[in-house]
Amino acid sequence: MVRRWLSAFVAVGVLGLGAPACTPQRAVSLKVAVAPRTPSDASVTIDEQFVGLLGYVAARGVRLPAGEHRITVEREGYFPWDRIVVSDRQEIHLEVVLVRIPD
- Dihedral sign, Cα of residue 25, residue 95, residue 68, residue 79: positive
Three-state DSSP state, 55:
helix
What pLDDT, on the 0 to 100 scale, is given for residue 4?
A: 37
Residue ranges per structural domain of the chain: 2-96
Decide which of 51 and 10 is more confident: 51
What pLDDT, on the 0 to 100 scale, is given for residue 22?
A: 47
CA atoms within 13 Å, Cβ hemisphere of 73: 25
pLDDT > 90 fraction of the chain, expressed in percent and rounded:
43
Whole-model pTM?
0.70
d(CA 59, CA 12) in angstroms, rounded, equals 18
CA atoms within 13 Å, Cβ hemisphere of 45: 11
- Which CATH architecture best describes the domain 2-96? Sandwich (2.60)
Q: Which residues pair with 25 in a beta bridge?
A: none
